[in-house]
Chains A and B, each alone.
Chain A
Amino acid sequence: MMNHIRNFSIIAHIDHGKSTLADRMIQLCDLVTAREFKDQLLDTMDIERERGITIKSQTICLPYTARDGNTYALNLVDTPGHVDFSYEVSRALASCEGALLLVDAAQGVEAQTLANLYLAMENDLVVIPVINKIDLPSAEPERVTFQIEEDLGLEADLIQMCSAKNGTGVAEILEAIVTHLPPPKGSIDAPLQARIFDATYDSYRGTVISCRIINGSVKQGDQIVLMSTGASHRVEEVGLFRLRKEPCKQLSAGEVGYILAGIKSVGDAKPGDTITLRDRPCAVPLAGFREVLPVVFSSLYPIAADDYEDLVAALEKLQLNDAALSFQKDSSAALGFGFRCGFLGLLHLEVVQERLEREFDISLILTVPSVRYRFTLTDQTEIMVDNPAHFPDPSKIARTEEPYIKASILIPERYMGAVMNLCMERRGENTNYHYPTPGRIEFTCELPLGEVIYDFYDRLKSITQGYGSFDYELLDYRSSDLVKLDILVNGEVVDALSQLVHRSNARERGLSACEQLKEEIPRQMFKIAIQAAIGTTIIARTNVSALRKDVTAKCYGGDITRKRKLLEKQKAGKKRMKTVGNVEIPQSAFLSVLKRDAD
């Protein structure tokens, strides 16, 4: 039985074609009708489809009849490639024996290719390298083969070549999965031991637990126990992940599937927890998952104050499907009541914002994102501050520390100077580099996290014309010298625009914040003064001139509807602005102050 199961993840750098390869495999296994099919079938969330990226891992069980005549159950996990969601990858890998490591034939090995390969190795998985997109005119399969051997140290004769787009080579990959990846180990007769790797909330059926059965089996009617809490529940249904959930009689060792057990709150089914049977428990729980810690913090405020209650409810709901999101109450003089939230990175922050706006229809303002700083005060107490509003009285600060990361950046050699320059601008230290293969550089550098949270990645992409890729790990806290940069609009401090910056950057950041705001704040009927200040010292200023003419020249019979709709749209846009004093500040302005001019 277990010999006919293969559990594997598809891992790669962002956009190398994981979800597209999953599509082809699903089609080859006849799991989807032509009518039901759409590209990146496993990217089910609106925001995934719109942005063309995977955010959450998705599992699907494919019935595959191999050339040896046997039918195998292939449990495929499609994972996200973006660095913010790498915890999704590590959870997925924990329930697999093997991984397909995709490499784009034109892009070659990139930072997350390496990072994800390391994750697979930590989990002792068998890795099959796959060179994808060989149909591209710019594909260089020989060069990439060389990189896979040299950069990654994987065996060249294992490499599969394919085009996930047109299907070339996909059948061979399915065969390779069956022949090269080991079947799961474990014993059906041992007591139940299953690891939760995800939990989602279904408003009709309660919590849906996704799990991998390591030992034993589970079926409807069983009393299961969640080992971290000891809570027990009666199993209502077990099943497999096909395109939809498909109930089955039982799940047993080696299999991946879902359990419905009337669990009311997703919080009660923690990923990493072990499930066993009440009447025949296993001796020890399985190793859990490392906790994911937020690194970027920002406050969310509803634009309309009476949306506050809805925001509370929405955040609670969202957290059910996104355990990485953390939040607590916050308030601002300019913006009223809101929440301070912790995110895994900027993309995670954007995703949360978009989901709140889209799925819960709440217009939000996000304040300037910040990292978490450590202050030691003169009385030796230590405080952690992730909100500029809580910046301590500077005369009471004995020591300031900020988090550092180790960035690793893969680039073609010719971009070395530009990348080095970018890292120096961002206060980089201890730079180092080596040549994994001729012509390519792996550049490492220690950087303050606060310097990379906003546009570092975008800037890297632009200065390397898309060829640079980036990965990072948190290092430690290091001594720093911070000041609080305030922004005044028509003489009033807008607390939500304040940020903590390194003293050496303060003037430049103040100037750039003023310039960005000038671009973002629409002209109003009076002149608007924008100033940046440290304490009471103004360090930068600019103005938004008064609007003196705004009228549509032509409006005749054929124009009325269009002109009216345009005005209505602009009127709705105004509702998405926050009035501070008498100035209307658009949503986008709050994040813009962190942007730096791309020279």
Chain B
Amino acid sequence: MTPAALRRTLSTLFIGGGTPTVLDDLLLHQILTACADVFGFADDAEITLESNPESLVERDLDELRRYGVNRLSIGVQSFNTEELALLGRVHDAHQAERAVQVARRSGIDTISLDMMYGLPGQTTASWRDSLSRAIECSPEHLSIYQLSIDDKTPFFRLHRRGELHLPDEDQILAMDDITMELCTLAGFEQYEVSNFRQPGCGCRHNLVYWRNEEYLGCGAAAVSYLNGERCGRIADPRSYCELIEAGTSPVFSRERLDRQASFRETVIMGLRLNEGISDDRLDQRFGCRLQDIYGAELDTLSADGLLYRDGVRWRLTTRGRKLANVVMRELV
């Protein structure tokens, strides 16, 4: 680790990627103490732990809270048992509800639920039901992801064979409407393509990514962005451990973008946020504004009703948020 990185204090920490709650209390405690010793935490540091419902139930959450964990992100995905089985989750709807209640009672400040829609066999009615039950648990934060069929996943193979009955685009759009309706009614505000918060409860850690600011990553497959360089670590956990134990760097990919490419990246990441991107901020950071880099693209995208300008900010319109990739393909 570079000395420069060591001089920074941590304002947010996110223990995630898989199921860190499989770590026992002692290990988690060691990680948190190590972070405190090496870097130190800011007074109001946000410390998130990612977890699955089944691993939460038998957990001593008070203990976690005492170590400093003040935000729990729970991978509920759905409150429909059939959908959960399809996703290969081991918990059922009932366990999911119990887990959230347990977490709620532990007194951890912020609870976020991960939910998924666009699942095989899902209907608008089942999505309405799942999301309502999530909201009834009164979390401060919701991450709501549309299922994406990536290459090499079992879903992808089924999909190619035409054996996956995914909701069609009309149904997806109807589910989006349900999401907006229920979230708004319950006082949630959308602040990123897939993220909703109660006032003041946005995930500060993830905002760093979307604002394309710097962060440090540790562990297999983790990525750092420090001093303008993005470093990826080897993904295989065993190899990662071997490299670390041998005293070798586990970093296997490095990327440093030139100023213009980095500007473009900042723009496309920033547009994911409802707050959009501020021309003033870009100017401070890169010494140029959107119009300096893009030409006719901005006019076309605005004319197509995908992008608009609001004072010093550029934002996606509601339509633009659904077609964000169309916009980003122009601006990348």
Contact = CB atoms under 8 A, between A and B. Distances in A.
Contacts of B321: 551
Interface in B47-103: none
B268 A567 contact: yes
A102 to B, nearest CB: 38
Interface in B181-209: 193-194, 206, 208-209
A44 interface: no
Interface in A548-579: 548-558, 560-561, 564, 567-568, 570-571, 574
A550 B330 CA distance: 13
A548 B322 contact: yes
B268 A550 contact: no
A418 interface: no
A555 B169 contact: no
A571 B329 CA distance: 5
B114 to A, nearest CB: 10
A555 B322 contact: no
Interface in A282-300: none
A383 interface: no
Contacts of B178: none
Contacts of B332: 564, 567-568, 571
A66 B19 CA distance: 71
Given A561-B230, A564-B332, A551 B223 contact: no
Given A551-B193, A553-B148, A558 B217 contact: yes
Contacts of A548: 169, 173, 322-323
A560 B322 CA distance: 19
Contact of A550 (B17, B232, B324): B324
B227 interface: no
Contacts of A553: 145-148, 193-194
A560 B265 contact: yes
Interface residues of A, number: 21
Given A549-B172, A553-B148, A558 B221 contact: yes
Given A548-B169, A557-B225, A567 B323 contact: no
A551 B322 contact: yes
B222 interface: yes
A547 interface: yes
Contacts, number: 86
B322 A557 contact: no
Contacts of B223: 557-558, 560-561
Contacts of B292: none
A560 B269 contact: yes
B324 to A, nearest CB: 4
A158 interface: no
Given A547-B323, A548-B169, A549-B172, A555 B329 contact: no
B299 to A, nearest CB: 15
A531 B324 CA distance: 30
B217 A552 contact: no
A552 B325 contact: yes
A377 B146 CA distance: 62
B251 interface: no
Contacts of A557: 208-209, 215, 217, 223, 225
B302 to A, nearest CB: 14
Contacts of B236: none
A564 B262 CA distance: 11
Interface string B291-332: 000000000000010000000000000000111111011101
A567 B223 CA distance: 19
B146 A556 contact: no
16 contacts: A548-B173, A549-B323, A550-B326, A551-B193, A554-B148, A555-B210, A556-B209, A557-B225, A558-B217, A558-B221, A561-B223, A561-B230, A564-B265, A567-B332, A570-B329, A571-B330
Interface of A: 525, 547-558, 560-561, 564, 567-568, 570-571, 574
